Structure 1
Amino acid sequence: MADPNDILGRLAGFGLFQKRIIAVLLFASFLAGPTTFMGSVFAVYTPPHRCYVQELDGQESSSGNKNDEKTTKFLSTTDPNVSDIISRYIPIEEGADDELRWSQCYMYNNTNEGNSTANNTIKCNNGWRYFKEPGEFTASMEFDLVCDNAWVVPLVGTFLMIGLMLGSIMGGYVSDRFGRKVASLAGMVALTVSSLLMAFTPVWIGIHLMTLVQSFANIVRIAFGMVLINEICPNKYRHRISVSNILLSSVGAAFLPLFAFCFRNWRYMTGAIGIVQIFALLPAIFVLEESPRWLCQNGKDKQYKRLLHKAVQVNKNKLNETEMSELENKRLQVSEEAGEKDTNKEKLSYLHLIKIPFLRKRIIIFSLAWLSVCSSFYGLSLNANNLKGNRYLVFLCVSGAETPGHILSMLTIQKIGCRLTFVIFNTITGCFLLITPLLQSVNNVAVIACNVVGKLFASGCFSLLYAFTGDLFPTLLRSQSYGACSFVARISGGLVPFLLYLGITLHESIPYLVLGVISVASAFAVYFLPETKSQPLPDSLEDARLQSRYNQRIACHR
């Protein structure tokens, strides 16, 4: 079948017209990176806290001499062994990390009468005292999202996953119905507006709703921006530019700690990130063009011709009558072949992924793989606040591991293929997750290192699955396979924040053990899938079925 993209490249060349569109999309991916975990990691961060006691904390507000400064020093510590003053009012409890701390939700009742006993405690009735850094002010502190309201914090991560899930499903309809350009621009506009609105929300539910819109817009922008890149680039550069799009988004996410460090107030941080998105939106409005493949297949003849003439003009090429005639013949050929394909194609749906035995086996294994990778990737990202040490540097290390993970994955796939790469990478991820609880009481630096290495290989698995999943399903079920696996992955990702919450309230080793076991199990299951290295994509059910026989012949030969 004639490719309208090849026609565009051959007649207009690969010049300024294509390069400036690619540059705008890559720049947008870089600037949108910090929005991924903005709300769920830094905006709702909860610092150590205890009940506010008027007899204690009222002194700090009126400090004016050395004695008051000394008292303030004692009141600003989270270590129960430092101050005997607080112990008269606040009981001591054991945290999830087995360390003693001031009770975060209870205080002694009738302290003036000396009845400071464990059986005479009440809930905090006068607010909380937060042990924060200078200038730090988060949404958890503003809305008191602690104790009975602590469940609100992990719910932000759940809304993040719901937005990603809805964006994956609904974004495809918008892209196919209205075009790649419309989908990409709509995602950028929604991302900018939601980031700015989050900075002014008067209630905590506004953070959740704006996080949902952000994640929805982000997946639409990056997914269909990548589709536009693939459909406007020559095949020679397509894979490299697509990988660069993912890498720049990861690099941009690594700048989130810098925003959070410079803007300690969560409203200033979210507002600043929203303003930054405008710098990507404005050039995109004037530079982005529609996909030539989409225009041709949807019968947009006038727009397609106009796009070609504009590309030729911008690239400073000249089109003679012979080339124009060739263009028209090729365009008609594309339309005829597309119509013939639509007439003859077999109707396949999601039900065929369950009805057909060999497809059912593959979709179950891939669903487990997507579930484990999504859980590990987002779990390690969202857990950065729970690690000891400077949370800005910790998140920078954990998020910075994504870039080398993507690069290492692509290099390894070329050598040994997708199947073995996933088995090795996800096994390593699971092993580092499982050994982390053994190091928590020994060395905090080793714990952070395990998280960084785990995130590196989890990132590699994430980019690998986007390539590997489509290799094992026929053309007419390829998009459905992505949708089914992504749906399962986002559901599991939505439960990850509550798994981390169990680590905070019960024991900090719980998330690592659960995620580690799932990672190792999925690596074992993927080993039984066929290898697709050096094989063409299957077009029909029979092509997909023969992939298993091809791997059996390879095994016998070995």
Structure 2
Amino acid sequence: MAAPNDILGRLAGFGLFQKRIIAVILFASFLAGPTSFVSSVFAVYTPPHRCYVQELDGQETSSRKTTKLLSPTDSNVSDIISRYIPTENGADDELRWSQCYMYNNTYTGNSTANNTIKCNNGWRYFKEPGEFTASMEFDLVCDNAWVVPLVASFMMIGLMLGSITGGYVSDRFGRKTASLTGMVALTVSTLLISFTPVWIGIHLMTLVQEFANIIRMASGIVLLNEVCPNKYRHRISVSNILLSSVGSAFLPLFAFCFRNWRYMTGALGIVQLFALLPAIFVLEESLKWLSQNGKQKQLKKILYKAAELNKIDLKETDMTELKKEPSQNSEEAGEKDTNKEKLSYLHLIKIPFLRKRIIIFSLAWLSLSSSFYGLSLNANNLKGNRYLVFLCVSGAETPGHILSMLTIQKIGCRLTFVIFNTITGVVLLITPILQSVNNVAVIACNVVGKLFSSGCFSLLYAFTGDLFPTLLRSQSYGACSFVARISGGLVPFVIYLGTTVHESIPYLVLGIFAITSAFAMYFLPETKSQPLPDSLEDARLQSRYNSHFAVCKQTNTRTL
């Protein structure tokens, strides 16, 4: 007798019904892309600054205020500033004006008068015309500088909580419920960031924002995988992440057009409404999830709707045939598959073959989160125009996803990850060597690293769900993403060490992580041309085909 998936695929077909759902999810990913780094990179960006000195700055009118803080070694710098501001060595060992101290008295050459005190009248920010960030509004510098990397940590905490919560909600209440909930919360939290009167509000709303975004993204990926036929599954999954990256590349444009951080975040919140409204009317629940949970009434209703949109003649006899198939809730299936209705995160640890997979995937997500977000957050520390630098680093994601999509079709997900993440690790390790040679070479290494790490990022979203049964699929994403955010929460402080201790530290840490996870990934089975596993037994059988060549040779003939 045909497998349940074969019957569902035949009854529902693949047409307008599925393509509408795919289009809405892809469109939502595109519009949500710019929200990921809006707070951590642009909203709390800190421009060059020094203590505000009335004698120096009070006499300048707004029309002739300088926008660039010249180095003490610059030939054009005025000698007057040295009477009020001391110098210090930055993290790159270059001489600069002190950012937090000023002379107690005008320096006269007498050592007794050369005493410094903390800035007692605020700071002078050397910003671009019209630029106004949260760091400037709330003076997040000097003693309050720790607040800036903390916002990225809140972002990672939100991703961590959203990962573990979203996986459970998606598997327990459905893909559609989780996806719509995430989209609503993302829209509201992004809008609220622009109205917060205190800096802690940015942190809390960024936490909610990323909490919602990861729920939207993970449940959307699972829904895409379960809607698409096998031959399109990986391509559509990678396309989802690809469009998110294309959307991220528009963030510098948003930041450039809306120089005020409140206008920028408010505009991004309004943009989310364009994805939320069509999603409410178009998204439908996954047929796989309904079937595995025995929700026959809702399954029948959606099947008839799908058949109508896809112009398929669906008869009552077809529905009778579907009901005859063994389901997750039958006694036979329960005995064979450890009562699937109660599968939870604990089964990912209790069942040996699932435990091996979740550990390897967790390591892969751990390293990828570190390198991917580390390269993004480090964009502000690279020399050059920050809008163009971020655009170059973010723009590298698009060809990375395309290259990943093409490579997956040739050699599968596993070997693609091994190759891509090894290259990422090597590029990161050689970057410190080039730092003393040429800044353009450092930016180029960041771009190459972002290209291959982004390719791995989309690959993991496509690959992770392939090795877990339907009622653990979303929870597998949640568990891996949860573990990944542990390192993600520490990445901003690793980047901070690069600015305060030595600039090579972030690259060395991230590079070692990447190579280690690439080695571990080789021990997972390949899933090229294979259908998604419905049951634990389906997932267990995948381990028999551990090589790429074996998978290609013994391709399962079941199709969705």
User: Which category of TM-score, normalised to the shorter sequence, fits these structures?
Assistant: 0.7 to 0.9
Q: TM-score, normalised by structure 2?
A: 0.87
Alignment map for 1:406-485 (pairs within 5 Å): 406-469=401-464, 482-485=477-480
Q: Please say if residues 183 and 212 of structure 2, whose CA atoms lie closer than 8 Å, have aligned partners that are also in contact.
A: yes
Report the TM-score when normalising by structure 1.
0.88
Q: CA deviation at 1:470?
A: 5.6
Partner-residue secondary structure (3-state), 2:79: coil
Going from structure 1 to structure 2, the CA distance change for 1:477 and 1:337 (only over 3 Å counts) comes to closer
CA distance in 2, matches of 1:84, 1:4: 81
Q: Spell out the pairing of 1:300-315 with structure 2 (5 A cutoff).
A: 300-315=295-310
Distance 2:10 2:446 in 1: 47
Q: Residue by residue, what CA displacement relative to the aligned partner does 1:124-149 show, whole Å, maximum 9, x if unpaired?
A: 11111111100000111111111111
Query: Is 1:284 the counterpart of 2:279 in the alignment?
Result: yes
Q: What letter matches 1:14 in structure 2?
A: F
Match of 2:59 in 1: 59
Distance in 2 of aligned mates of 1:337 and 1:358: 23
How far apart, CA to CA, are the structure 2 residues paired with 1:311 and 1:351?
35
DSSP 3-state at the match of 1:60: coil
Match of 1:373 among 357, 368, 375: 368
Coordinate RMSD, CA, aligned = 3.1
Show the counterpart of 1:342: 334
Change (3 A) 1:418 1:296: closer
Equivalent pair of 1:34/1:255 in contact (CA under 8 Å): yes
Structure 1 residue 186 displacement after superposition: 0.8
Matching residue of 1:204: 199
How far apart are 1:96 and its partner, in Å? 1.0
Please tell me whether residue 35 in structure 1 is matched to residue 32 in structure 2: no
Moved more, 324-333 or 359-368: 359-368
SS at match of 2:244: helix
Match of residue 66 from structure 1? none
Measured after TM superposition, the shift of residue 80 of structure 1 is 1.3
CA positional deviation for 1:29: 0.8
- Answer yes or no: is the 8 Å Cα contact 2:424–2:449 preserved in 1: yes
1:495 lines up with 2:487 in the alignment = no
Conserved in 2, the CA contact under 8 Å of 1:21 and 1:288? yes
Take 1:352 and 1:182, find their aligned partners in 2: how far apart are those partners?
Answer: 23
Flag the 1:485–1:207 CA change in 2: closer, same or farther, 3 A: same
Q: Which amino acid aligns with 2:248?
A: A
Distance 1:484 1:188, change over 3 A: closer
Amino acid in the other structure paired with 1:43: A
Aligned in 2, Cα 1:4/1:53: closer, same or farther, shift over 3 Å?
farther
**What are structure 2's unaligned runs of at least 5 residues?**
552-560
2:205 counterpart of 1:213: no
- 1:475-504: per-residue Cα shift (whole Å, max 9, x none)? 887766544433321100110001111111
- What residue is the counterpart of 1:331 in the other structure? 323
Contact 1:4/1:331 (<8 A) preserved: no
1:539 to 532, 537, 544: 537
Provide the rounded CA distance (Å) in 2 between the counterparts of 1:59 and 1:432: 49
Is contact 1:378–1:496 with CA below 8 Å preserved after alignment? yes
**1:465 counterpart letter in structure 2:** L
Please give the alpha-carbon distance, in whole angstroms, between the structure 1 residues aligned to 2:474 and 2:310.
Answer: 34
**Kept in 2: contact 1:167–1:219 (CA 8 A):** yes
More deviation in 257-266 or 353-362?
353-362
Cα distance, 1:472 vs structure 2? 6.4
CA contact 1:145–1:152 (8 Å) conserved in 2: yes
- Determine whether 1:10 maps to 2:10: yes
Q: Distance in 2 between matches of 1:256 and 1:435?
A: 29
For residues 412 and 231 of structure 2, the distance between their equivalents in structure 1, rounded to whole angstroms, comes to 21
Equivalent of 2:94 in 92, 99, 109: 99
Identity %, equivalent residues:
79
The amino acid of 2:526's aligned partner reads T
Q: For residues 354 and 298 of structure 1, do their structure 2 counterparts lie closer, same or farther at Cα, with a shift above 3 Å needed?
A: closer
Q: Distance in 2 between matches of 1:513 and 1:336?
A: 48
Q: Which moved more, 1:229-238 or 1:5-14?
A: 5-14
Q: Distance in 2 between matches of 1:10 and 1:239?
A: 20
Q: Could you tell me how far apart the structure 2 residues matched to 1:432 and 1:61 are?
A: 47
Q: From the superposition, tell whether residues 233 and 4 of structure 1 become closer, same or farther in structure 2 (CA, over 3 Å).
A: farther
Shift of 1:401: 1.3
The CA deviation at 1:102 is 0.7
Whether contact under 8 Å (1:49, 1:131) holds in the other structure is: yes
Q: Is the 8 A contact 1:5 1:233 kept in 2?
A: no
Deviates more, 1:294-303 or 1:90-99: 294-303
Give how far 1:430 is off. Answer: 1.7
Alpha-carbon distance in 2 for matches of 1:355, 1:309: 39
Q: 2:512 aligns with which of 503, 514, 517?
A: 517
Aligned to 2:225: 230
Residue 356 of structure 1: how far off its partner (Å): 7.8
CA distance in 1, matches of 2:549, 2:231: 32
Q: Decide whether the 8 Å contact of 1:97 with 1:507 is kept in 2.
A: yes
How far 1:107 sits from its partner (Å)?
0.8
* 1-structure distance, mates of 2:412, 2:160: 28
Q: Is the 8 A contact 1:188 1:217 kept in 2?
A: yes
Q: For the Cα contact (< 8 Å) 1:91–1:118, is it kept in 2?
A: no
Please show how residues 125-204 of structure 1 align to structure 2 within 5 Å: 125-204=120-199
**Contact 1:5-1:234 within 8 A present in 2 as well:** no
Tell me the distance in 1 between the aligned counterparts of 2:229 and 2:360.
34
Report deviation, 1:205.
0.8
Structure 1 position 403, deviation (Å): 1.9
Contact 1:5/1:231 (<8 A) preserved: no
For residue 343 of structure 1, report the CA deviation from its aligned partner: 3.9
Amino acid at match of 2:321: N
Kindly provide the amino acid, as one letter, of the partner of residue 244 in structure 1: S
Q: Write the distance in 2 (CA, Å) between the matches of 1:117 and 1:467.
A: 67
Check conservation: 1:46, 1:141, Cα contact below 8 A.
Answer: yes
Residue equivalent to 2:395: 400
User: Alpha carbons of 1:170 and 1:480: their partners in 2 closer, same or farther (altered >3 Å)?
Assistant: closer
Asked if 2 retains the 8 angstrom alpha-carbon contact of 1:398 and 1:451, the reply is yes
Once the two structures are superposed, residues 397-443 of structure 1 have per-residue CA deviations (whole angstroms, 9 ceiling, x without a partner) of 11111122122223333444444433332222122112222222322
Give the Cα separation in 1 of the matches to 2:323 and 2:278.
30
Distance 1:422 1:117, change over 3 A: farther
Listed as ranges, the matches of 1:114-125 within 5 Å are 120-125=115-120
Q: 1:525 to 1:304 in 2, by over 3 A?
A: closer
2 CA distance for matches of 1:403 and 1:222?
17
Say which is worse superposed, 391-400 or 237-246, in terms of deviation. 237-246
- Which range moved further: 303-312 or 350-359? 350-359
Q: Does the aligned pair in 2 maintain the 1:109–1:115 contact within 8 Å?
A: no
Partner of residue 269, structure 2: 274
2:325 is paired with a residue whose SS is helix
SS of 1:201 mapped into structure 2: coil
- Partner of residue 50, structure 2: 50
- 1:18-59 deviation per Cα after TM superposition (whole angstroms, max 9, x unaligned): 222221111111111101111111111111111111111111
1:199 positional shift:
0.5
Measure, in 2, the Cα distance between the counterparts of 1:118 and 1:31: 57
The separation in 1 between residues aligned to 2:95 and 2:445, in whole angstroms, is 25
When residues 423 and 306 of structure 1 are mapped into structure 2, their CA distance, relative to the original with a 3 A threshold, is closer
Distance 1:358 1:299 in 2: 26
| Cα-to-partner distance string for 1:242-269 (whole Å, 9 max, x where unaligned) | 2221111111111111100110000000
